[in-house]
Amino acid sequence: MNIVNTISLWFIPVLIAFILIYATIKKVPTYETFVEGGKEGIQIAVQLIPFLLGMLVAVSVFRASGALDFFIHLLKPFLDWLGIPSEIVPLALIRPISGAAGLAITTDLITTFGPDSYIGRLASVIQGSTDTTLYILTVYFGAVGIKKMKYALKVGLWADFIGVVCAIIFVTLLF
């Protein structure tokens, strides 16, 4: 175990040193390239602000309007019939939109029900087996100017759905 800790402590500094030495050998102006990359990063961040702001406002409106609670109330009888706790639905719906909101819901579920409860374990597995699809599409596709994202959206949301279904199946079987 001591070897793993040593490797993990030294990996990043050694990697950075290797990149700098390699760039110097190839006669790449490393500092100028670093500064230029920093400038591009700031420009991309400024370009992404409207996309991120729009997404955060949409999530806030969805939750604050009561639409999320209404949707969960509609699904509760069906979820009870399947044996799926309705407390998980907000996480399954919000996680593809916002990682921070998904983490907040997961934290709340774990605090309320406990980390070793069925709901706590299920929330943890859903958090780890799904991704922030809409955030990824907004940020990365927006950064490079891709306008047609219909198929990527379908595949990403389908993958999130499969992640939630598999999380429910495996947590039910294993715990």
State the Cα–Cα distance between residues 153 and 3, nearest whole angstrom: 42
Query: Are the beta carbons of 130 and 95 closer than 8 angstroms?
Result: yes
pLDDT at res. 1: 63
Which is more confidently placed, 60 or 80? Answer: 80
pLDDT at res. 38: 86
pLDDT bucket at 99, cuts 50 / 70 / 90: confident
Question: 2-11, 81-90, 164-173: lowest mean pLDDT where?
Answer: 2-11
pTM of the model: 0.68
State the Cα–Cα distance between residues 77 and 169, nearest whole angstrom: 19
Query: Average pLDDT, stretch 45-64?
Result: 77
Residue 14 has pLDDT above 80, yes or no: yes
DSSP-derived 3-state class of residue 115: coil
Let me know the angle formed at the C-alpha of 149 by 67 and 146, rounded to the nearest 5 degrees: 125
Residue 24 has pLDDT above 70, yes or no: yes
Question: 57-61, 63-67, 115-119: lowest mean pLDDT where?
Answer: 57-61
